[in-house]
């Protein structure tokens, strides 16, 4: 007999074994229950008590011994009705909590979140986050991609761009003016637009904006440090800054 439905409505496997044994045996003692249900004797009273609380077992005392009886199978419907009633009560309690829970969440949403990453491993973590965060058709914005970053990370970044393009994420670069060699490679990529800062502007610092994140990166020959900020307003501010530079930068 398939008893899975009994598990789904809230009975444990041991409770089911005891209940079925009692249906078969009729009024009986724990000794017979243990033998018929094939359960450990030390646990039988614990599970009988649970079944009594659920209204599926009752008992009488005969000759100073407890004799147990399974309730009519129809009582399973009553058990379900009690569960349904309890669920409705819990739903009402949850509804009362919703304003407080939403208020807590809103406070958390308004908080500015920031993290610090270091080295190539840190950069890989952030670029993995970009792939996870952005959806098809959305855009990654980069300001001032420095020459040294391309020299040190070109292999990794080119492989990453293949994943980006496969996912359908667009990319807009505003490169430092001395990085045209790498810019030409990007220009040949799909879903990629390139422009350049004026000739007199170069920096080891660069900015990336994606979704509600802003990454500020600083790289040297042997190390890199990356600041990741999560805040919608800050991201919008940097995106406005990008759009301003994009209008004034050259192809």
Residues of the chain scoring pLDDT < 50: none
Measured between alpha carbons, how far is 80 from 94 in angstroms, rounded to an integer?
A: 21
Angstrom distances, CA of residue 61 to CA of 138, 157, 191:
73, 78, 81
Q: What pLDDT does residue 154 have?
A: 86
What are the residue boundaries of the structural domains of the chain, listed by start? 4-75, 113-248
Q: What pLDDT does residue 108 have?
A: 66
Q: What is the pTM of this model?
A: 0.58
Name the residue among 241, 231, 194, 190 with its Cα closest to residue 211. Answer: 231
Q: What pLDDT does residue 204 have?
A: 75
Q: Are strands 224-230 and 113-118 parallel, antiparallel or unpaired?
A: antiparallel
The domain defined by 4-75 folds into: Arc Repressor Mutant, subunit A (1.10.10)
Q: What pLDDT does residue 104 have?
A: 76
- Give the residue carrying structure tokens 């422009």: 195
Of 3.50.50.100, 3.30.70.240, 3.40.50.11810, 3.30.870.10, the CATH number of 113-248 is 3.30.870.10
Q: What pLDDT does residue 34 have?
A: 94
Q: What pLDDT does residue 151 have?
A: 83
Q: What pLDDT does residue 51 have?
A: 93
Q: What pLDDT does residue 16 have?
A: 92
């Amino acid at each position: 007999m398939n008893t899975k439905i009994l598990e789904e409505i809230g009975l444990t496997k041991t409770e089911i074994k005891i209940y079925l044994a009692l249906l078969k045996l009729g009024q009986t003692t724990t000794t017979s229950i243990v033998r018929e249900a094939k359960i450990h004797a030390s646990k039988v009273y614990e599970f009988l008590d649970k079944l009594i609380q659920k209204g599926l077992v009752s008992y009488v005392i005969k000759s100073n011994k407890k004799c147990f009886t399974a309730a009519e199978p129809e009582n399973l419907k009553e058990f379900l009705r009690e569960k349904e009633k309890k669920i409705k009560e819990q739903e009402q309690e949850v509804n009362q909590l919703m304003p407080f829970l939403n208020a807590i969440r809103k406070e958390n949403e308004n908080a500015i979140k920031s993290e610090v990453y270091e080295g190539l491993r840190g950069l890989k973590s952030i670029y993995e986050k970009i792939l996870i965060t952005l959806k098809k058709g959305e855009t990654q914005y980069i300001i001032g991609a420095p020459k040294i970053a391309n020299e040190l990370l070109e292999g990794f970044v080119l492989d990453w761009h293949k994943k980006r393009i496969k996912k359908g994420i667009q990319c807009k670069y505003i490169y430092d003016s001395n990085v045209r060699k790498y810019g030409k490679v990007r220009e040949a990529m799909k879903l990629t637009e390139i422009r350049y800062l004026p000739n007199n502007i170069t920096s080891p610092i660069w900015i990336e904006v994606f979704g509600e994140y802003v990454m500020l990166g600083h790289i040297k020959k042997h190390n890199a440090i990356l600041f990741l900020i999560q805040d919608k307003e800050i991201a919008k501010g940097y995106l406005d800054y990008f759009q301003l530079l994009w209008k004034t930068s050259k192809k």
